[in-house]
Amino acid sequence: MQTRRTQVVVAGAGPVGSVAATYLSRQGIDVILAESAMDSAQDLRASTFHPPTLEMLATLGVTERLIETGLKAPVYHWRDRRSGEILSFDLTEIADVTAYPFRVQCEQYHLSRMLADTLEAEENTQVRFGHRVVYFEQDDTGVDVYLEHATGIEKVRADYLIGADGANSIVRKWLNVEFDGFTYPERFLTLSTAWPIEDALPGLAKVNYVSDPDEWQVLLRVPSLWRVLVPAPEESEAYLLSDEKKNAVFDGIMGDGAAVTTGHRTIYRVHQRVAKRFHKGRVLLVGDAAHLNNPLGGFGMNSGIHDAFNACEKLSAIINDGASADLLDLYDRQRRTVTFDFTQRQTIENMEIMRGGQDEAHERRRDALRILASDPEKRRSYLLRQAMYDSIGQAAAIS
């Protein structure tokens, strides 16, 4: 078998792997970005880019294109479905800390596609769609990575391998790293529609978290669609994807659900899991390959992109400047700590606010949110935390 040589193989051209490959390529490092699918996946997943992520992506030259492709959403709402109460949070209040005081609402595949297009023009980078990482072996000096494609299996000798191959990461499995946590009993159902929900609910923000003990909802606007996310408890798949269910969901939002037509209807299982290690030897894990969380708050892809920047900054220092490989342990400490202390904790808390029953604990959580919304100082720290600035600061403080 012929062996090709490169410095880094990145497994997976989702948003996180594409960012990692672009970062390294810009540092003059030879990269192969291997993606098992024939093109960037176009499923409806992440659609929110937080301000610090936009700052990072600006260094790769894609933020302005994301803004042009997506929508600016400076305001988000926490709404209570029963009482109709709306708590509004406005990111322009933190305009002194960022050039991007808003979320950008844009489907994640636009980012993956934009970066793949740019990378294809780079001499030191190969983007290989239809190439699945099936196996690797590492030793003291490098990693042999096996890529399966339509006509065979190719061996690539790399200095490092980055596993950005998503929730079912084969890289994580071959590393034999545990992926502890839990799976929510209910699944999530997402529906998309071009129907103007904002006409039925005046004042609706582009990002809305609507709490309710029976059926909470997330209403997210992307340029041409509303995306609606609801819990899908013990119901059959056929029912969840039926018009009857669609009608019931939209009846609950605005009445007359039968009049609403949908584009996508998709069911997801949702997990809270963190890999025991984010690197072993010359192999690193980033993004969903390293951690999973529920989508409430929009932290999954964003935190994965933060992993990619953190890991690639250290890899560049090792490869280009001869820095110690111990830096990879620092990557593990920094990103695993904030995954537990921020992403996991905050997403679990956000889920509790959304689905809590009409009990004392739920009232306490709502009271706490009310206090946050009405106190300028507390509101500012809440905005900074939810925009993920605290998690980045916390990681940077770990040595």
Ligand X SMILES: Cc1cc2nc3c(=O)[nH]c(=O)nc-3n(C[C@H](O)[C@H](O)[C@H](O)COP(=O)(O)OP(=O)(O)OC[C@H]3O[C@@H](n4cnc5c(N)ncnc54)[C@H](O)[C@@H]3O)c2cc1C
Kindly state whether residue 241 participates in binding ligand X, applying the rule CB under 6 A. no
Among 6, 7, 8, 12, contact with ligand X (rule: CB under 6 A): 12
**Which 202-231 residues touch ligand X, going by CB under 6 A?**
229
Does residue number 110 form part of the binding site for ligand X (CB under 6 A)? no
Among 174, 304, 312, 344, binds ligand X (CB under 6 A): 304
Q: Kindly state the smallest distance separating residue 115's Cβ from ligand X, in Å.
A: 11
Chain position whose Cβ is nearest to ligand X:
14
Of 25, 29, 45, 208, the one binding ligand X by CB under 6 A: 45
165 binds ligand X (CB under 6 A): yes
Sheet bearing 103-105, strands edge to edge? 48-49, 103-105, 71-73
When the beta carbons of 19 and 260 are compared against ligand X, the nearer one is 19
**145 lies in the site for ligand X, by CB under 6 A:** no
Closest CA to 66 of 101, 105, 92, 94: 105
* Minimum distance from residue 84 beta carbon to ligand X (Å): 25
Q: Which of 6, 8, 15, 219 binds ligand X (CB under 6 A)?
A: 15
Task: Please report whether residue 13 would count as binding ligand X according to CB under 6 A.
Answer: yes
Give the Cα separation of 372 and 200 in Å (integer): 28
Q: State yes or no: residue 34 binds ligand X (CB under 6 A).
A: yes
From 165-173, 197-205, 315-323, 339-347, span contacting ligand X (CB under 6 A): 165-173
Stretch that binds ligand X, among 55-63, 294-302, 338-346, 370-378 (CB under 6 A): 294-302
Which stretch, 83-91, 149-157, 164-172, 315-323, contacts ligand X (CB under 6 A)?
Answer: 164-172
By CB under 6 A, is residue 54 in contact with ligand X? no
For residue 255, give both structure tokens.
């009445």
* Nearest alpha carbon to residue 311 among 278, 280, 273: 278
For the segment 174-203, give every residue that binds ligand X (CB under 6 A). Answer: 188, 190
Determine if 14 is a binding residue for ligand X (CB under 6 A).
yes
Long-range CB contacts (within 8 A, 24+) of 341-344: 341/391, 341/394, 342/299, 342/385, 342/388, 342/390, 342/391, 342/394, 343/291, 343/293, 343/299, 343/300, 343/303, 343/391, 344/181, 344/272, 344/274, 344/291, 344/293
Nearer to ligand X, 170 or 338 (CB): 170
Among 54, 287, 319, 332, binds ligand X (CB under 6 A): 287
Tokens linked to 4: 């090709």
Q: Does 302 bind ligand X (CB under 6 A)?
A: yes
Ramachandran assignment for 63, one of left (phi > 0), alpha (psi -120 to 50 degrees), beta (any other): alpha
70 and 104 Cβ atoms separated by less than 8 Å: yes
If one asks whether residue 391 binds ligand X (CB under 6 A), the answer comes out as: no
**With binding defined as CB under 6 A, does residue 343 bind ligand X?**
no
User: Least distance to ligand X from the beta carbon of 285, Å?
Assistant: 9
Per-residue buried b or exposed e for 134-172, using 16+ beta carbons within 10 Å of the residue's own CB:
eebebeeebbbbebbeeeeebebebbbbbbbbbeebbbb
Amino acid 293 reads N
Cα atoms in the 13 Å half-sphere on the side-chain side of 243: 5
Which strands, in side-by-side order, build the sheet including 160-163?
A: 125-129, 31-35, 8-11, 160-163, 283-285, 279-280
Which stretches of the chain bind ligand X, using CB under 6 A?
Answer: 11-17, 34-37, 41, 45-48, 108, 132-133, 164-166, 170, 188, 190, 229, 268, 287-288, 295, 298-302, 304
